Amino acid sequence: MKRLITTIRNINKIDDLRNRILYTIGILLIYRLGSKVVIPGIDPHQLAALQEQAEGGILGLLNMFSGGAFSNASIFALGIMPYISASIVIQLLGMAIPYFQRLQREGESGRRKINQITRYLTVIITAAQAPAYLKNVVYNLPAGAISPFDPAITTPTTFFWISSIIILVSGTMFVMWLGEKITDKGIGNGISLIIMIGIIARLPFALFSEFASKMEEQGGGLVFFVVEIAILVFVILLTILLVQGTRKIPVQYAKRIVGNKQYGGVRQYIPLKVNSAGVMPIIFAQAIMFLPMTLAGFSSSESVTGFIASFTNIDGFAYNLTQFVMIILFTYFYTAITINPKQMADDMKKNGGFIPGVKPGKKTVDFIDNILSRITLPGSIFLGLVTLLPTFARLLGVSNEFAMFYGGTSLLILVGVVLDTLQQVESHLLMRHYDGLTKSGRIKGRTAGIMG
């Protein structure tokens, strides 16, 4: 506690850091207020059915990521997920299309062009998802809720559809802009923080709801609730180990001793993370698993909707198996695009370093790639298992809202983003010769952020 108070005082002494934190908090408050603003033309008092629908299943996940905006029929209802989906598509294109590969090699100018294309694609994806979302909202609203000021209107008008689609697209683009502002003028990781704050907003409600259910006659009592909290803490600790775990490769750096003109050696290490991809594989897989819900909104065929329904049941075998396999594949994919063994070997050679017992050049590249493949496999499997933990929690009687925090995307995002944010703050403190948040002065965050 004393170190925490000292750290807060040190933060207050650094004008730039203090202003960045206050700016970030202000932007996040704007986002939270926007998630409560209902789409014009919808009666906010008639959303009970929609909110009940969003309590479980894949819609519950989407509602969590949007911080409750989905169930509120808010102008931010689609949240930041269309931008995440667009970013995934662009990264996949970067693996297959030479034009995007060339942009990735062009440095800052190429990055700006990729960001521009990503924004255009975000508009297209949001415009495609908005009608499906509105169709679901209309289906779950009672008659007269669409136009509360004119009871004579019982069905949505053309103007309602067009204006609502424009509002939802604008809302997603505004949320994306807020994230970019946090990245530029705040403490960084803007998109990640927006997703995290939406998840945290659901935590108090889920915690009190679970406590109330356990205090009921058939709930199990206080002992069961304490056991659930203990298991949750244990899972959080395991997740931190997953995020921070590393495998060190010894590297010998040649060092010239001027006095006797002999060469000695300085042993250093290349730290390779067990989970170099961070939470991105889960984000990738989750974004794809949202597609069946969108397709179901456009389809009227019972056979098609029945097949798609099997992939929208988050406790179903098909959903969990598909997601588990995709997480493993995406872990390898994202690790491949973020860590380049050839580049590492070249940098090592330029700095006069080598791996003891391994020849420089292709042998070093193959050695690093082999080590990376070996540690990525258990990391990806562990990541997939953590994703399945909420399903097991629900099967054991934990409520759906609270089970979301037992693993999966929500827990990994919370742990990863918190560690990244603390790392950013600690970096500012250490640069100005203030004590950090820990005695060692080092907090390990993720190698990869969510999208900025």
**In this predicted model, which residue has the larger pLDDT, 218 or 308?**
218
Q: Which tens digits make up the pLDDT trace of 220-266? A: 778 888 888 888 888 888 777 777 766 677 777 665 555 545 445 66
- Quick one: pLDDT at residue 27? 93
Q: How confident is the model at residue 31 (pLDDT cuts 50, 70, 90)?
A: very high
- Quick one: pLDDT at residue 123? 93
**Is the pLDDT score of 447 beyond 50?**
no
- Exposure letters 404-429 (e unless 16+ CB within 10 A, then b): bbbbbbbbbbbbbbbbbbbbbbbbbb
DSSP for 153-217, written as a single string: --S--HHHHHHHHHHHHHHHHHHHHHHHHHHHHSSS-HHHHHHHHHHHHHHHHHHHHHHHHHTST
Q: Which tens digits make up the pLDDT trace of 313-366? A: 777 788 888 888 888 888 888 888 778 888 888 888 887 788 888 888 888 888
Beta carbons of 323 and 289 less than 8 angstroms apart: yes
The span from the CA of 29 to the CA of 291, in Å, is: 30
The span from the CA of 54 to the CA of 74, in Å, is: 13
- Quick one: pLDDT at residue 311? 67
Average pLDDT of every residue of the chain: 78
Query: What is the pLDDT averaged over residues 286-303?
Result: 62
Q: How many CB atoms lie within 10 A of CB 184?
A: 11
The span from the CA of 397 to the CA of 242, in Å, is: 26
Taking CB atoms within 8 Å and a gap of at least 24, the contacts of 133-140 are 133/70, 133/77, 133/78, 133/168, 133/297, 134/161, 134/164, 134/165, 134/168, 135/297, 136/50, 136/53, 136/297, 137/39, 137/42, 137/50, 137/73, 140/49, 140/50, 140/53
Token pair, residue 275, equals 């989970």
Q: Which tens digits make up the pLDDT trace of 357-403? A: 888 888 888 888 888 888 888 888 888 888 888 888 888 888 777 88
Q: How many CB atoms lie within 10 A of CB 138?
A: 17
- Which of 46-55, 80-89, 135-144 is modeled with the greatest confidence? 80-89
The span from the CA of 280 to the CA of 283, in Å, is: 5
Token pair, residue 192, equals 């990640």
> Mean pLDDT lowest for which of 139-153, 194-208, 216-230?
139-153
- In three-state secondary structure terms, 84 is helix
The residue extents of the domains of the chain are 35-186
pTM: 0.76
Q: Please state the φ and ψ torsions of residue 91, each to the nearest 5 degrees.
A: -65, -35
Provide the CB-side half-sphere exposure for 7 (13 A, CA).
Answer: 17
**In this predicted model, which residue has the larger pLDDT, 83 or 50?**
83
- Quick one: pLDDT at residue 204? 83
**Is the pLDDT score of 119 beyond 60?**
yes
Q: Which single residue is written with the structure tokens 């034009």?
A: 99
Q: How confident is the model at residue 448 (pLDDT cuts 50, 70, 90)?
A: very low
- Quick one: pLDDT at residue 269? 74
- In three-state secondary structure terms, 433 is coil
DSSP for 293-325, written as a single string: HHHHHH---HHHHHHHHTTT-TTSHHHHHHHHH
> Mean pLDDT lowest for which of 54-68, 76-90, 417-431?
54-68
